[in-house]
Amino acid sequence: MMTIDFKAEVEKRRQDMLADLFSLLEINSERDDSKADKDHPFGPGPVKALEKFLEIAERDGYPTTNVDNYAGHFTFGQGEEELGIFAHMDVVPAGSGWDTDPYSPVIKDGKLYARGSSDDKGPTMACYYGLKIIKELGLPVSKRVRFVVGTDEESGWGDMDYYFEHVGLKKPDFGFSPDAEFPIINGEKGNVTEYLHFAGENKGAVRLHRFSGGLRENMVPESATALISGQLPADLIDQLASFAEAHQVKFTYAEQADGQVEITVVGKSAHGASPQAGVNGATYLARFLKDLDFAGPAKDYLQIAGDVLFQDHEGQTLGVAHEDEKMGALSMNAGVFRFDQAAEDNTIALNFRYPKGTNPEQIKAVLETLPVLKVSLSQHAQEPHYVPLEDPLVATLLEVYERQTGLEGHEQVIGGGTFGRLLKRGVAYGAMFPGWTDTMHQANEFADLEDLFRAAAIYAEAIYELIK
C-alpha cells in the first residue's frame, strides 16, 4: 500500500495556493442589495468571487457549472456515491476599525489579514488544494466529488435554496463544509431571528428621534447612535462620560443646531453565534438612555434594549433560556436596531441559536409578553442538526485529524450555522485549529498561514479516505 506524504505535497504548492487565495481575497464580495438584479442576485461582488473561483477550477481541468450566479460547482471522479463539499465566497461587511485595507490582503508575522481570510475564502482554498493534490497525483477513487460554492451564506442562504431547486441533481450522499473548526463540528444549534415591532411615538419630556445600530443579525453591533431632544439633564455629557468609563466603552456626543443631541456608543463586534465575545454597542447605549424622561413606545424600546437584552446572551432575563445535555445552551444576539419616530414600524432583531428541546414558536410566545406591537419570525429558520459520532463520515474525519495532528479528536456542537447542515449526513470540518484566535466577522480578520497549509494536508487525506 502506498503512503502519500500530503504535507510534502502541500509544501510544493504553497505559492500557487497563496496566489489563488489572494485573487479571491482582493474581491469585495459583500452582499449589496442596492445593486442586485437578475444577473447579480446578491449584488456584483459575490458573483465576481464565484466567477473567479470557477475560473480557477476550469484552469485546473475540472468541469464547472454556474447556476445563474447564485452558486456554482465543479466535479471530480466517478462512482455511484457522491461526496459534497460546500464552501462560500460571500463575506460579511468589512465594517470599521481595520489597520489595513480589508480587500488588500497583507501578510504580517505569519498571519494573512483580509476580510474572508478565515471565513471562508482561506479554508475554501485550503480544501480546494487538498482535492487538487489527489487529482494531480492521479490517485484512484471510487466516488464522485462535487465541490459547491455559494454566494449568500452570511445572509439568508438564498443561494443554496436556489441552487438545489435549479441544479437538476440530487443532493450529495454525505459531505462537509470547510467553514468552522477542527477536530469537527457534527452538531449545530437551530437558528432563527425573531423581530420585536414597536410604534414610533414619543410621549415623555424627552424625545427619541432616531436609534440605530447593527449591520447584520449574525453580528454583535459594534456601535449604535441615538438622536434625542427635550428636557435633558444639564450634566448629560458628564453622566455619559462616567457611564462609558464604568462600562469601558467609547462614546461621541454632539449637540446639533436645533437643540437635538446625537450620542454614539462604541463597543466591540463579534460573531452572532458567540454574543458574549462582543460588547453590544446598542444595548449599552439604550442602557444609558433608558432612565431619561421618555414615555410611550420610545420608552418601551429603550427599556427592552437596555434592561432586558443588556448582557442577556443566554436569554435568562428574557425568559427563553434552555439547555440540552448534548447541544448546550441557547444563545441570543440582539443584532439590528432600527427606530425612527416618523416610522410606524420599528424593530429589534434577535438572533437565537437554540438546542433541541425548544423551538421558534415557544420563544415567540415568551417575546409576545413584552410591551411590543407584535413579534414576527424570519422566513429562514434552521432546525437543530446532529450527525452521530459512529457515522463513518464523522469517524473517518476524526481519524485523519488525529493522525495528522497527534491531537485527540472529539465531537463539537456549535451555535454557528454552516453549510454542513445542508446534508442529512453533513458536518463542518476545519479549517481553524484548537486554540485559534477567532476573528471571524471582526475588524482585522486573519488566518494563520501555517494553519491554512496544515489544513490543506488534512483535507487532502480526508477527501482521499472518503472517496478512495
Catalytic residue among 82, 120, 153, 194: 153
Instruction: Tally the C-alpha atoms within 13 A of residue 367's C-alpha that lie toward its C-beta.
Output: 27
State the Cα–Cα distance between residues 431 and 419, nearest whole angstrom. 14
Amino acid (one-letter) located at 262: E
Per DSSP, the chain holds a count of helices (H) and strands (E) of 11, 24
State the Cα–Cα distance between residues 109 and 112, nearest whole angstrom. 8
Contact status, residue 213 vs residue 285, Cβ threshold 8 Å:
yes
The alpha-carbon radius of gyration of the chain (Å, integer) is 24
SS3 of 88, please? strand
Q: Which of 213, 344, 209, 342 is nearest to 266 (CA)?
A: 213
Contact status, residue 46 vs residue 436, Cβ threshold 8 Å:
no
* 90: annotated active-site residue: yes
Rounded to 10 deg, the angle between the 14-25 and 44-59 helix axes is: 160
Q: Which of 452, 448, 456 is nearest to 113 (CA)?
A: 448
* 238: annotated active-site residue: no
Contact status, residue 179 vs residue 88, Cβ threshold 8 Å:
yes
Contact status, residue 266 vs residue 222, Cβ threshold 8 Å:
yes
State the Cα–Cα distance between residues 363 and 327, nearest whole angstrom. 17
Which three cell numbers mark 298?
Answer: 420610545
Report strand pairing: 106-108 vs 111-113: antiparallel
State the Cα–Cα distance between residues 231 and 302, nearest whole angstrom. 17
Contact status, residue 71 vs residue 158, Cβ threshold 8 Å:
no
**Which residues, listed in sequence order, are joined to residue 181 by a DSSP beta bridge?**
432
Helix (H) or strand (E) holding 287: helix 281-289
Which three cell numbers mark 57?
Answer: 477550477
Dihedral sign from CA coordinates of 269, 275, 378, 429:
positive
Q: Which of 130, 177, 91, 196 is nearest to 414 (CA)?
A: 177
State the Cα–Cα distance between residues 441 and 155, nearest whole angstrom. 13
Active site residues: 90, 153
